[in-house]
Chains A and B, each alone.
Chain A
């Protein structure tokens, strides 16, 4: 896309006037990206870039220190028998696990991301949410993944949602804020677009599709709507916002399709893990399997790739 030379000042718009989305058109456009044929060197690079964009995630009630430590080791050593692999971008955990993760990842350059704000439902008072965020940040979280109050949003209380995001952003300090829209609960593309606009104007560093706890999670059309919102925001303000589709992307081929979409909608500047992430737990192993297949010419059993 055409890069804008300098930042512009934009007034906060009336979010009820966010652009409308034609659902037939957006789904058709999204499927078009899946027709791109990614081969040879491009495929290898795309697979490695995918690994480098992953937020390796464990968000379960049964998580323990030991499980998080294992995940942090894997984040740094995805598949040591394959030389020259990148690390993932971040490890994503609950606030109570941030301390463990921070210590395990020390010096690795891998960020610790923490979900917060009463993840995944967001059904708590603002005070509790802010303390949740501060707890995570004080324990060393580099990135905070918040959820919006979907109930309030669907009731049309956009100011409430906006203010809450702004307050969380303030509580984050220097940590980057990812705002989870939980698109599976918003249902329509029009609402996804509106929530994206609210989040960006309220101070989100990332907009993110889903918690992974609700189905459907990330889809190509939903991500496309959000990427187009990011592009429009950039046109208006000159400010880049990052994107994180999360949940439901478990295959390399799907990840490559997302990269094609990112490339063709936002362009080269976004093609790195500062501006794009995959929230996924099982994607990494599928990518590793594909990389080994490219290297050796044959698929290997899943037993050759560590589960955690």
Chain B
């Protein structure tokens, strides 16, 4: 296609520019061979005497083994939290509480690089995302809620807000440290103590956070971090001396928790799955919208509860949007998450990779047209090509069920009413995106879409000051902002 160059004198291998490997060094990450449970300010051997392995999903190599807490371990942690709440944390002046939270925030910042590396090693997300998004945002959540600690009466005027007591918090594997921050920071600021369980595939950054908490001299028992799988989570949910359960994870598990908590006086917030509609109108800035779609579905390999996994394109711009989307996917670098140039890293676990493959097969069987990136996947580790499905029916399972991977289901629409109806026609309601140059259309759509978070002309933007949470089967309760405080208070 290109004409011969007139005056080129060098052989330019930049022509087929493959970025040379630019791996982040692992040496900064100090990972112990074994981690115990963080209870009452100390790392303690599990009463269960059991440990399980956590691996690097990009290489399938073992990183460490961590304790598997049983019912007795959970009880020990809850007791520690109860004592700390009654004797110390609820009695401490609020501004002193704030100081501890500030200290934790600063310590995360100081060790941000180590946290980034461990987050990427343990979870498979690209180092660029751990470094630029996860870790700074986690620190920001601590900073933000630290500021509220002594201002609760201003947050809720004419009330006398009181902490709930002990919070049991169960977090997912997609944003391990960030979710820990979302949970711990508001709980501490409001005077609660916590028992937190990270996901079994990604426990390491939460355990590193436990080290920081230990170094910060936070009174023992205020934060307890225990590791384990579903059974450990169930022991937390069912423990009689817990006042509040906060869960982020799948809708399936969320329903089990809600059933378990029913009839008790435990407070509950759930942040569950999603199947967000990302809607492109013909008057949108198309190149930026395409970038937003890419960011919406391929950010963190699509392991995002608010991922824009359904794309609706107004039919007049469908061809150009598809062309640009495919071109953009060709430039996504899929591979070693530790490489600074990687855009899409490893799928978090073998099990999740199987789930994604299952849905890709369902999509094919349902007759949707598939487009996959032509990238070459690494031989070892769990990887999945960025995938598009065109001609998807509203009744297709790939348009209805959460896949939690880099798979986008694309449909077209003609009118505003049609797309509002289709976007809302889902059991989920966590998030949505609207792309249009017209302000009035933005407001029309955002007032009619039944989703907790709606982005206009951007996607996947997070901030500690902004509440986050869902409608319908995406859960209830809000995290972040003022709303996030109220979930931990009796007002």
**Within 8 Å CB of B331, what residues of A?**
264
CA distance A240 to B286 in the complex (A): 21
Number of A-B residue pairs, CB cutoff 8 Å, is: 131
Contact B14 A20 (CB under 8 A): no
| CB <8 Å contact, B20 and A19 | no
Which of A35, A235, A268 lies in contact with B320, CB distance below 8 A?
Answer: A235
For the complex, is A37 an interface residue (Cβ under 8 Å from B)? yes
Please give the distance in Å from B139's CB to the nearest CB on chain A: 20
Are B8 and A20 in touch, CB under 8 angstroms?
A: no
With a CB–CB cut-off of 8 A, which chain B residues contact A111? 6-7
Report yes or no: B1 in contact with A269, Cβ–Cβ below 8 A: yes
Q: A2-B327, A19-B285, A35-B340 are in contact. Are A274 and B12 (CB under 8 A)?
A: no
| B residues less than 8 Å from A29 (CB atoms) | 287-288, 291
| Contact in complex: A275, B2 (CB < 8 Å) | yes
Question: Is there contact, CB below 8 Å, between A52 and B20?
Answer: no
From residue A129, how far is it (CB to closest CB) to chain B in Å?
27
| Contact, CB under 8 Å: B20 / A22 | no
Kindly list chain A residues whose C-beta atoms are within 8 Å of the C-beta of B339.
37
Instruction: State which size class the interface on B falls in.
Output: 35 or more
In the assembled complex, the CB of A290 is this many whole angstroms from the nearest CB of chain B, namely 15
Residues of A within 8 A of B18 (CB): 42
* A274/B458 in contact, CB under 8 A: no
Interface size of A by CB at 8 A reads 51
Contact with A along B7-28 (1 / 0, CB 8 A): 1111011111111111000000
Cβ-neighbour of B13 out of A36, A39, A41, A275 (below 8 A): A41
B interface, over-half SS:
loop
Bound-state Cα–Cα, A28 to B323, Å? 21
Flag whether A109 is at the interface (Cβ < 8 A).
yes
Indicate if the CB atoms of A40 and B285 lie closer than 8 Å. Answer: no
Tell me the nearest residue of chain B to A89, going by C-beta.
B7
* Interface status of B457 (Cβ within 8 A of chain A): yes
Known: A3-B1, A111-B6. A22 touches B19 (CB 8 A): no
The smallest C-beta distance from A162 to any residue of chain B, in angstroms, reads: 23
Asked if B458 and A49 sit within 8 Å, CB to CB, the answer is: no
Which residues of A lie under 8 Å from residue B286 when comparing CB positions? 19
- Given the interface pairs A41-B13, A49-B14, A228-B287, the reply to whether A24 lies near B8 with Cβ below 8 Å is no
Question: Is the beta-carbon distance between A272 and B288 smaller than 8 angstroms?
Answer: no
Which of B21, B128, B323 sits near A235, CB closer than 8 Å?
A: B323
| Residue from A3, A25, A41, A111 with most neighbouring chain B CB atoms (10 Å) | A25
Closest to B285 in A: A22
Q: Which residues of B contact A52 (CB under 8 A)?
A: 8-10, 12
Contact B457 A25 (CB under 8 A): yes
In the assembled complex, 21 residue pairs joining A and B whose CB atoms fall closer than 8 Å, in A order, are A3-B1, A22-B288, A22-B289, A24-B288, A25-B287, A26-B288, A29-B287, A37-B339, A38-B22, A40-B20, A41-B13, A43-B20, A45-B17, A52-B9, A52-B10, A86-B10, A87-B9, A264-B331, A272-B5, A274-B5, A275-B2
16 additional contacts (CB under 8 A) given A26-B287, A272-B5: A19-B287, A22-B289, A24-B288, A24-B457, A28-B291, A39-B19, A39-B20, A43-B20, A46-B17, A89-B7, A110-B7, A111-B7, A235-B320, A260-B17, A268-B17, A271-B12
Query: Which residues of chain B have a CB within 8 Å of any CB of chain A?
Result: 1-3, 5-10, 12-22, 128, 132, 283-289, 291-292, 320, 323, 326-327, 330-331, 339-341, 437, 457-458
